[in-house]
Amino acid sequence: GNGGSLLLHGRSVASAIDDHDIVIRMNGGPTGGFEESVGRRTTFRMTNRNWMGFSETPQEIVLQHVSTPEALAQFVAHTQKLRAEAKEQSTEPPQVYMLDPEFHEYAMGFMDKGVLSNGFYG
């Protein structure tokens, strides 16, 4: 990927990461299989449209980047599906929330560059 976690591979910094109050991961950045390098915890996961609602554990809070009407429709359909599955299984639905569109507008104006990466929001 294009994230900095690639630089951590093979290093034992997991406890330093897990010791933080909050651990934020981006998109589909996995912990499974890389625990010794990137730790086990994920508090928040920021996802773009390509990773709609993705999480590795039910404890993660997913913050979904939604910036187009199509992505909003995809988000609504996805969260409805998650709620229906949770109801069917008598479990709590995953915690998936949409980032405030006003924050997106603020970031666009702040950077004045058009399309912003999900990493920028992190």
How is residue 7 annotated by DSSP? Answer: G
| Dist CA 100 CA 75 (whole Å) | 13
| Dist CA 47 CA 119 (whole Å) | 9
* Closest-CA residue to 51 (of 23, 74, 17): 74
Instruction: Measure the CA angle with vertex 122, ends 103 and 75; round to 5°.
Output: 60
Give 15's contacts (C-beta < 8 A, 6+ positions apart): 39
pLDDT 10s digits, 72-121: 999 999 999 999 999 999 999 999 999 888 887 888 787 766 667 767 77
Amino acid at 103: F
103 three-class SS: helix
* pTM for the predicted model, two decimal places: 0.80
pLDDT 10s digits, 22-76: 999 999 988 898 888 889 999 999 999 899 989 999 899 999 989 889 999 999 9
Which domains can be identified in the chain, with CATH numbers?
4-121 (3.90.1480.20)
| Dist CA 122 CA 117 (whole Å) | 9
